[in-house]
Amino acid sequence: MTRKRRRLIFVLAGMTCLGIATALVLNAFDDNLVFFYSPTDLVQKHPGTTKRLRIGGLVETGSLVTSDGGKRFQFKVTDGKTDLAVSYVGVAPALFREGQGVVAEGKLAPDGSFTAATLLAKHDEKYMPPEVAAALKKSGEWRPDAEAAAPGAASPPAQSMTVQPVNAPVNAPVTSRGTSKP
């Protein structure tokens, strides 16, 4: 075998390995890729029952039903236009309740309901996941009071406070630097 032929075989083998590695990486991305849908988007796009996806919106008031000692949940997620029945088995987040924002990750069932494997609830009284906020704005159900939690929103002014030094007597006057006067 000549040097030229060996070099050609080596280059072809390297390119084959690179192609196989690229295919494996792209396949791994496809398995881990999860798309976000609002209930209206889900009805319009019909993504199928085999793909894992996320839905988001508000838990419809009056729709939450728990069973099995609080381990099985059935509720409806709404974006103001469309409602979607969701079922979840597991421990719900502490902030999960009716009228609050939720993101559920799972699969669409053949009957059109959604079977969630994971529930994510908002973490405080003002936070809304960006995907849920965009879907609610798109549907016209955005609540203006939620905009106060947007990045860059004005925070309340800090209150000034006088600190008593540790080594100062309890009734000693304190200067602006926190040291006691003799």
Binding site feature residues = 123, 127
Q: Which residues pair with 58 in a beta bridge?
A: 78, 101
Tell me the CA distances in angstroms from 70 to 82, 91, 96, 114, 159, one per residue in order: 26, 8, 12, 19, 43
Angle subtended at Cα 34 by Cα 97 and Cα 32, rounded to the nearest 5 degrees: 125
Q: Which residues pair with 104 in a beta bridge?
A: 55, 119
Provide CB contacts within 8 A for 83, sequence distance 6+.
Answer: 39, 60, 63, 76, 77
Residue with structure tokens 């929103």?
A: 153
User: Which parts are annotated binding residues for heme?
Assistant: 123, 127
